[in-house]
Structures are given as structure tokens and as C-alpha cells.
Amino acid sequence: MPLILGKTENEQKNKLNMSLTLIGGENGHKAKLSRQHTLNKNENDQEDKFEDAYEIIPVASSMNLVSSLEECTTGLYLFLNNRFSEAISLIHPWSKNSIYHALMYSMLMIVRAILTFDPQDIENGISVSKEALKICNNFRKRPRIMTLSYLVNRHGIKAVNDEELHAEVCYAECLILKSSISFIQDDSLLGFFKSSISIGSSYQIYKDCEHVLTLMPKNQCKAHKHLDGGIKFGLGAFNLMLSLVPPKILRLLSVVGYSGNRDLGLALLHESASEPHINYILSVFTLLFYYNYIHVAFGIEKIPSPATENLFLIYLHKFPNCVVLKFFHARFSMLKGNFENAQLKLQECIFTQNEWKQIHHLCYWEIMWCHIFLQNWRQAFHYANLLSQNSKWSKAIYMYSKAILLALLPSDFAKSVSEDISSLFLNVDSLRVKILGNSVPIEKFVAEKGQRYGTTSGWFTAQPLLEFIYAWSGFRVMSKKLELISSWLSIIDRGKDLLQENPNEEYGTDDISLLNLLKGLCLKHLGKYLKAEHYFNRVLQNEKLLKYDHYLVPYTYYELGILHYLNGNYASATKSLDNIKNYKDYSMEARLQFRAHIALEQITKEM
């Protein structure tokens, strides 16, 4: 479904006129990028303008704190206008001599590594992040025998200069970046613990800098807003992240003594995203990822505040061609149930840029889901096949996606694409990857299911897909489109009828229990709480008869707990959610622990 854009690629390269009005308490400044590569500030102007961006941007011949912030802001604008190579070329020359260039270059390399999942890019990301830490460390206060706040309390605010304070904040952010990329690459438990310790160190630095900043007059520090915004981002992200993690897992991560406040974290991120500073876009992206993915997968079913979407629309207006913002615009449409509109936005996202093709893969994934929700099996298979051929993220997931969709298509279609359903299912296991020396839980889950469906017959053809949708929180995504929920409920009912007409001695109870769980879930989304509770209880009644899918019982307790919560029965909700603690060693266990922790925390807050 290609969209013809208003400008050709060459026109977009040759001229970029963007209104960059930055919100916040300060007046904006006007930024002009000319052939001489000058950035002129005018505090009385209401808009930032990024004009006449040429093919080659000359590298600055000298650099100080203020000019480095200006040039890194220019690099950020290039990135937000999909000019990724130009952003890297502008930032790289000073990345070994400037803390903000080192930080920005590390950020760009890590983003590329996460998108490509290419081993060479991951190695490069780790190398660059380590180098950035060294550069920032060279600018920090010496000797490092006491914290900055202790030093300032003892010797006064003049004991620390601007560059040293900025270096602290950049160093803390580099620690987070290094931990994120190391988490992908390091396959040892020791490496995992080292990452958690680095994050803890980063948090302590942010808290230290926050205290120092309260003692410093705003006009004393150059670029005070960049310090303030960076600290809010760091503390906000840390609080948000830890608020999602159950205390038991926190102890395993060696982050003992820390606790996260979700409301505080979100508030700090909103403040940071609403102010003009070098890290504001990280705050925006963090909020977007949280509300579009984390909240959908782990949060309870309360409608999030529209403040984030309103903030997002402001930035989309400023950067209308930014492929990342376009992607999240499509995701917002999906969460509202506007799947056809979301597909149009995702197709536009694909045709906006070709430099980082891995972003296309993110779009393919979401388009596949739009087609699944709308029950367009052939189109969904097409995008699953594209992902299987082109993306390195999870070959196992893509292979399983192809298999479960092919199961719903006519047999002659499988022949036309030279695919065999059983072979696809059985090949899933060989494509699994390991992180921290362990299997990815969702890949382990689909590999086990692939073995089952590839070696048996007599199962309901839509059953693997229904279970896959549940594993990816698909019913929650569809919950705004009640007619779709009703349509899927009809499919579930047909499956139950078929399984009861042709009982399977080995898997029968497991299969019927799965469909009862999903039927209860659909009824809950349709507001039929009593009927939903009935089907949840039917799963629990068959607990001792289950042979394989033992995850169904704790997950049913979770859904029943959420049902009671939505009904205002907090005591019953808490009881159901507490029952989850009695189960262990089942599929997708960690995910449910996160969900139950968040739900119980919310119930406690409201009681």
C-alpha cells in the first residue's frame, strides 16, 4: 500500500525547512545551519529554524562546552530528519575530545547496533561506549575520593567548574548506554551483574549532581538547562525502570536498597521532555516506548494520561519526517483500534527513508500484526516471510509466525510458496538465540509449541495463532475495537466445538483450557464480567488435569485478578494475584511476575 510523498528524496536532501519551536519556560533561540556551519542564538525569537542543510556540513575547527552543545544539537536535528550518516559524520571528528560529542556518538552507534543486531555493529557499539566513558572520565573532577556534593558542601560551589559537572552527567549517561549494549552481547551471568552495578553507579551520580545543582545559581553554570534536563532524564528513567521490577528480582540484580517510584519517574521524564536541552528527545522516546509497549505488556487496564500523546504530537509537528516519530504515530493508531490507518502510517514510514533499513523491519512486524488482528492471513504471512528473510532480530519468532499463519491458509497456497507447515514448526528450535547464556523465554515457548504442532495432528488450526496473540498482548491491543474482539470470540467458540467433537486424549484438557482462558479474556474486554469469571474458573478447576501447559493456571489467576480489580473488588483481586506466587517453573514466568507486581502495587495505591 505505497504512499506517494510530497517531496522526492533528492528534494528532501537538498532543502530541509523545519520549525523547531522548543517548549518550556525559556524563550526559544534561532538556529541556522549555513554553508559556514554557524549556529546563531537569539533568545527573543520564538522558533528554532533549521534551514538550508547542505549535503556536506563542515567540521568545526575549535570546540568548547557551549559550541559542543550547539554542534551536538545540530547532529540531533540531522538524526531526527533521518539524515543518519550526516549526523554521525558531524559528531565523530570531535568524539575523542568533547564529552557531548563522545556521548552523542556512542548513542548513535548503540541505536544502530540495537536496530541491526549485527555482531560487528554490537562490537563497535561496545567499543565506542567504552571510549566515551574514558573521554567523560578525563573531564571529571580529580581526585575521585569523594562525591561532588560532599566536596561542594565542604569547600563551596566554586570547588566544581562547569565542565566537571557536565562531565559527571555525561559519564552517568554513558554508563547506562554501555550497560544496555553489554546486556545484548555479554552471555555470562557475571556480565549481567556488572551491568546492574553500572546502572546503580549511574543513579548515584545523578543524585549527586542533582544535589549540587540545587546549590548552584542558574546563571552561574553555562548551559544550566542541559544539566537540569539530563539529570531529570536519568533519575526519571531509573525510577520508571525499577518501579517495574519485583523486589525479588531486584535482589537478584544486586540493586539492593534501591526502589523506583513510577509516578515520580514519569513526571521527571515529562518535565525533561518538555524542556529545551540536549537529552529531551531521549526522554520523549522513553515515554513513547513505555506507553506504547511496556504499559501494554505489563500495565493494568487503565487508560494512560493523554499528556504523552499531546507532547508527542507537538514533536511530530516539529519533525514531521522523523521516521521514529512516524513509527510511534502508527503505534498510537493501533492502540486506538485504527488498524487500517496504522498500516498507512507504517507504509509511509517505510518509504520515508532507506538508509537504516532495519527500521523497515519494525514496520513489517507491526503491519503483520495489523493484518493478523483484521484476520487477513495471506497479507500477514507476506510480512512474516519478509521478516524471516531480512531481519536478524529473532529468526525463531519469524519462522513460527510463518508456520501459524500458513496453517490458516489453503493447502494450495503452501505449495505455491514452497513451504511445508510441519517443517516450519520443527525448524523453530534450531533458530533460537541465547542472551546471558540463557534462552529468550518467548523463543523457548514458541520452540516448544513448534515441536508440538509439527509432530501432532488434530489440533484446531487457529489455536497456535490465538495463543501467539495472547503471548504478545494482542487482545489488549485489540480491546478498543470491540467488533474485532467479538469476531475472535467466534473463532474461539468454533475451536471449542471442534475440539469437543474430536477429543484429543493427550492434549485435550490443555487445549480446551487455553480456549477457556481466551474466551474469558474476550468476554472481559466486552464487559461481560460474570461470564468471563465463569470461564476463568473452568481453567482453574482443571489444574490437576493439565499435562503440558501449566502456565495457564497462574496466567488465569492474573486475568481473574485484573477482572476483580476492574470490578472494584480489590480484596478478591489481591487474593487472585497473590496465588501466582505459589507457582514456578512455567512458561513466561518472569513476565507474569512483572505483571503481578505492577498490578498489586496499583491496587495497594488505590485501596
Confidence of residue 220 (pLDDT cuts 50, 70, 90): low
Confidence of residue 194 (pLDDT cuts 50, 70, 90): low
**Ramachandran sector of residue 37 (left: φ over 0; alpha: ψ -120 to 50; beta: rest):** left
Q: What is the pLDDT of residue 37?
A: 36
- Provide, for the chain, the percentages of residues in helix, strand and coil under a 3-state DSSP scheme, each rounded to the nearest 5: 70, 0, 30
Cβ atoms of 347 and 329 within 8 Å: the answer is no
How far does the chain reach from its first CA to its final CA, in angstroms? 49
Q: What is the pLDDT of residue 556?
A: 98
- Residues 449 and 464: their CA atoms lie apart, in Å, by 8
- DSSP letter assigned to residue 583: -
pLDDT at 50 over 50: no
Cα–Cα distance list, 412 to 74, 408, 450 (Å): 54, 12, 22
C-alpha atoms less than 13 angstroms from C-alpha of 465 in its C-beta half-sphere: 28
pLDDT at 304 over 60: no
Confidence of residue 45 (pLDDT cuts 50, 70, 90): very low
pLDDT at 158 over 90: no
What cell numbers appear for 21 in the block? 519551536
Cα–Cα distance list, 407 to 491, 514, 545 (Å): 14, 18, 28
pLDDT at 291 over 50: yes
- Residues 94 and 26: their CA atoms lie apart, in Å, by 29
Percent of the chain surpassing pLDDT 70: 83
- The residues, any chain, with a CB within 8 Å of residue 57's CB and separated by 6 or more, are 33, 37, 74, 78, 86, 89, 90
Closest CA to 538 of 556, 562, 526: 556
- Residues 108 and 281: their CA atoms lie apart, in Å, by 13
Q: What angle do CA 241, 247, 250 make, to 5 degrees?
A: 60
b/e code 318-357 from CB counts within 10 Å (16+ = b): bbebbbbbbbbbbbbbbbebbbebbbebbbbbbebbeebe
- Residues 77 and 88: their CA atoms lie apart, in Å, by 12
Q: Which of 10-19, 27-36, 116-125, 446-455 has the highest mean pLDDT?
A: 446-455
Where helices occur in 529-607 by DSSP H, the ranges are 529-541, 552-566, 570-579, 589-606
Percent of the chain surpassing pLDDT 90: 64
Reduced 3-state DSSP string for 363-384 = HHHHHHHHHHHCCCHHHHHHHH
Cβ atoms of 414 and 406 within 8 Å: the answer is yes
- Residues 554 and 593: their CA atoms lie apart, in Å, by 10
pLDDT at 190 over 60: no
- Residues 450 and 445: their CA atoms lie apart, in Å, by 9
Cβ atoms of 553 and 583 within 8 Å: the answer is yes
Is 52 in a helix, a strand, or coil?
Answer: coil
Task: Tally DSSP H helices, then E strands, for the chain.
Answer: 30, 4
- Residues 16 and 82: their CA atoms lie apart, in Å, by 11
- Residues 172 and 550: their CA atoms lie apart, in Å, by 42
- More confident site: 306 or 137: 137
Q: Which residues pair with 439 in a beta bridge?
A: 434
Angle between helix 307-318 and helix 262-273 axes, rounded to 10 deg: 20
Q: Give residue-wise pLDDT tens across range 496-538.
A: 999 999 988 899 999 999 999 999 999 999 999 999 999 999 9
Q: What is the pLDDT of residue 531?
A: 98
Q: What is the pLDDT of residue 42?
A: 39
- Residues 499 and 101: their CA atoms lie apart, in Å, by 61
- Residues 17 and 318: their CA atoms lie apart, in Å, by 10
Reduced 3-state DSSP string for 117-179 = CCHHHHHHHHHHHHHHHHHHHHHCCCCCCCCHHHHHHHHCHHHCCHHHHHHHHHHHHHHHHHH
What cell numbers appear for 419 in the block? 513451504
Q: Compute, in degrees rounded to 10, the torsion defined by CA atoms 127, 130, 134, 137.
A: 160
Confidence of residue 169 (pLDDT cuts 50, 70, 90): very high
Quick one: how far is CA 54 from the chain centroid? 33
- Residues 327 and 6: their CA atoms lie apart, in Å, by 18
Across the chain, mean pLDDT equals: 85
Is 355 in a helix, a strand, or coil?
Answer: coil
Q: What is the pLDDT of residue 266?
A: 94
- DSSP letter assigned to residue 545: G
Closest CA to 182 of 432, 435, 393: 435
What cell numbers appear for 512 in the block? 480446551
Other Cβ atoms within 10 Å of 542 Cβ, number: 16
- Residues in the chain, total: 607
- More confident site: 235 or 255: 235
Q: Give residue-wise pLDDT tens across range 341-399.
A: 999 999 999 999 999 888 999 999 999 999 999 999 999 999 999 999 999 889 999 99
Q: What is the pLDDT of residue 43?
A: 35
Q: Which residue reads 498482548 in cell numbers?
A: 473
Confidence of residue 479 (pLDDT cuts 50, 70, 90): very high
- Residues 333 and 305: their CA atoms lie apart, in Å, by 16
Confidence of residue 178 (pLDDT cuts 50, 70, 90): confident
- More confident site: 4 or 207: 207
Cβ atoms of 327 and 346 within 8 Å: the answer is yes
Q: What is the pTM of this model?
A: 0.86
